[in-house]
């Protein structure tokens, strides 16, 4: 079955004050001297900086240990998934809400973040911010969950990423061409991020291409695979809201993963309804707003206590095809 064409028209998120009064206490409680010193807008983002430190540290440690472990060096590769996925969560938050006050510092940070992610982070904008948020679950959404319609639901979960990929490339290439015509900071950042990432990759491949695959590329790819695939978890079987953001958005248009541990390490990426309501709001507000304006209105079935439990029962055991999919399988 052919997926619908995806529009490459860029839809900007409106720059305006949020429509709700925000209690700043949650941010103030996370203030710290080091965060202020390095110029973070929200010093709570020191958690993201520390997480990136763990990501780079784990890659370096694996790289150094790999020659001494023989074939067991590959056994460490799956452990790279968690820091890679957390890096994707940091990218998601950072591309919605800039982390640094100084523009040059933000440019430098996004370059470092691109190295950690394994993809130029500036290209997150055309696919996620400008497309998914503007066209959620419509035919123009590159990540519309109806792109996969297989009888076996585990195949929907596994192949969803690959069905979305052509639209991702199309949107990214159109965005690069648009920014080239415009010039300016965004295109400069794209060029810097690409140059830094692919130069480092070329050097690592030159040093040892096997280690590059085991320590860098495969763990990084697994994180990107997961962060794109998670849209299937967040939106499949949910309502489609006529309103794309703001207080009138249908909170039942997204599934929320409310496990406190998950949201601590992913920096509140589990609170997805409120994120669609206020996409440019800093993540430190999401838990409080979820409790105040989402929880009273949402279908309780769309509040999942465990993402691992949800994946297991949805795609593996019992792994039955959900009712909303049974009349449109391939």
What are the structural domain ranges in the chain?
Answer: 36-325
pLDDT on residue 2: 42
- Quick one: which of 180, 150, 205 has its CA closest to 329? 150
Q: What is the pLDDT of residue 10?
A: 44
CB 304 within 8 A of CB 290: no
Query: CA 88 to CA 92: how far, in whole Å?
Result: 6
Q: Are 242 and 328 in contact (CB under 8 A)?
A: no
Per-residue pLDDT of the chain (330 residues; tens, 9 = 90+): 444 445 544 444 443 444 454 444 344 444 567 677 789 999 899 999 999 999 999 999 999 999 999 989 999 999 999 999 999 999 999 999 999 999 999 999 999 999 999 999 999 999 999 999 999 999 999 999 999 999 999 999 999 999 999 999 999 999 999 999 999 999 999 999 999 999 999 999 999 999 999 999 999 999 999 999 999 999 999 999 999 999 999 999 999 999 999 999 999 999 999 999 999 999 999 999 999 999 999 999 999 999 999 999 999 999 999 998 887 654
Separation of CA 294 from chain center: 21
Q: Cβ contacts of residue 133 below 8 Å, gap of 6+? A: 13, 244, 245, 276, 279
Tokens of residue 250, six digits? 């249908």
Closest-CA residue to 116 (of 152, 157, 88, 81): 88
Residue 319 near residue 313, CB atoms below 8 Å:
yes
pLDDT score at 31: 53
> What pLDDT, on a 0 to 100 scale, did the predictor assign at position 35?
72
SS3 at position 257 = strand
Q: For residues 306 and 298, what is the distance between their CA atoms, to the nearest angstrom?
A: 17
- The pTM score is 0.90
Torsion of CA 152, 153, 159, 163, to 10 degrees: 100
Query: CA angle 220-153-311, nearest 5°?
Result: 55
Nearest to 90 by CA among 64, 57, 115, 65: 115
Opening angle at CA 117, ends 207 and 132, nearest 5? 145
CB 41 within 8 A of CB 300: no
Decide: 293 and 266 in contact? Cβ < 8 Å. no
Helix (H) or strand (E) holding 127: none
How much is the pLDDT for 15?
Answer: 39
Return the biggest CA–CA distance within the chain: 57
The predicted structure's pLDDT at residue 36: 73
């Amino acid at each position: 079955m052919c997926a619908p064409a995806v529009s490459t028209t860029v839809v900007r998120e409106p720059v305006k004050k949020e429509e709700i009064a925000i209690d700043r206490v949650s941010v103030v409680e996370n203030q710290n001297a080091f965060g202020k010193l390095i110029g973070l807008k929200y010093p709570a983002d020191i958690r993201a900086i520390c997480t990136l430190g763990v990501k780079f540290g784990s890659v370096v440690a694996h790289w150094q240990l790999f020659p001494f472990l023989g074939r067991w060096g590959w056994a460490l590769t799956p452990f790279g998934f968690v820091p890679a996925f957390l890096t994707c969560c940091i990218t998601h938050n950072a591309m919605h809400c800039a982390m640094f006050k100084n523009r040059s510092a933000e440019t430098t940070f996004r370059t470092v973040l691109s190295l950690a992610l394994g993809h130029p982070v500036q290209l997150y904008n055309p696919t996620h911010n400008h497309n998914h948020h503007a066209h959620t679950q419509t035919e123009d959404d590159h990540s519309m969950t109806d792109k996969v319609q297989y009888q076996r639901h585990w195949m929907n979960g596994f192949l969803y990423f690959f069905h979305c990929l052509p639209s991702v490339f199309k949107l990214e290439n159109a965005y690069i061409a648009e920014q080239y015509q415009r010039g300016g900071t965004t295109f400069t950042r794209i060029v810097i991020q690409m140059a830094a990432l692919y130069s480092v990759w070329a050097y690592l491949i030159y040093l040892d291409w096997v280690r590059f695959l085991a320590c860098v590329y495969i763990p990084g790819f697994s994180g990107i695979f997961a962060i794109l695939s998670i849209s299937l978890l967040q939106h499949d079987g949910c309502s489609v809201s006529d309103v794309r953001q703001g207080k009138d958005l249908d909170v039942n248009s997204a599934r929320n993963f409310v496990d406190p541990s998950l949201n601590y390490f992913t920096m509140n990426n589990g609170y997805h309804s409120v994120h669609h309501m206020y996409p440019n709001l800093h993540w430190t507000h999401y838990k409080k707003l979820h409790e105040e304006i989402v929880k009273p209105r949402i279908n309780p079935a769309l509040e999942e206590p465990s993402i691992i439990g949800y994946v297991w029962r949805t795609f593996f055991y019992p792994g039955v095809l959900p009712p909303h999919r049974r009349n449109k399988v391939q």
